[in-house]
Amino acid sequence: MGTENFRQLAAYNHWANLRLYGAALELPEEAYRRSTGVFFGSLHGTLNHLLLTDRIWLKRLTGTGEHPDRLDAILHDDRRDLLRARIAEDARLNELVESYTGADLMEPIAYQTTSGKPYRQPRQDILLHLFNHQTHHRGQAHACCSILTGSEPPSLDLLAFQRGVPAPNLG
């Protein structure tokens, strides 16, 4: 994959997050926090996990930023604060991806997992994982919205992004 592919994935990631948060903000508080059986329990738990893991990977890629060591930590209890943090992290990720050259993508990055196990992988493999992980858990969050409302949440399809379907203005 080249730099343009990763730039598109970073832009898509932000778009999909805004669409998902738009749906999350419409839910009553109790529903937003209700356990639906997904891995991180609720929509709230899943959205916090996504922010947390992006922070972990961005710290590994840049050496800067903070994150807790638990993958189920709640970074923000208030969903509006969580949204603001999500928007900031998406901007940080977009800026980072924009700065990469093809050679940067091939560069191996050394890091440790949250359990301390060392790894070394090309930056492009880390980015592929980061975006794939986002899609995986956004799918769970999307299912939460469907379960909680009984209706179809907004589409998060990459094709919808590519076709110019707008994201809500949540800023």
Number of domains in the chain: 1
Domain that holds residue 41: 3-103+122-162
* pTM listed for this prediction: 0.94
Residue 171 lies in a domain: no
Residue 167 lies in a domain: no
DSSP code per residue over 99-129: H--HHHHHSEEEEE-TT--EEEEEHHHHHHH
- pLDDT given for residue 70 in this prediction: 79
Give the CATH number, domain containing residue 18. 1.20.120.450
pLDDT along the chain (171 residues), means of 10: 95 98 97 95 96 95 85 91 97 98 97 93 98 96 96 96 95 69
Residue 169 lies in a domain: no
Q: Residues annotated as binding site?
A: 49, 133, 137
Residue 96 lies in a domain: yes
Residue 131 lies in a domain: yes
- pLDDT given for residue 44 in this prediction: 97
- pLDDT given for residue 15 in this prediction: 98
Q: Residues annotated as binding site for a divalent metal cation?
A: 49, 133, 137
Residue 115 lies in a domain: no
CA angle 6, 39, 83 (to 5 degrees): 55
- pLDDT given for residue 73 in this prediction: 86
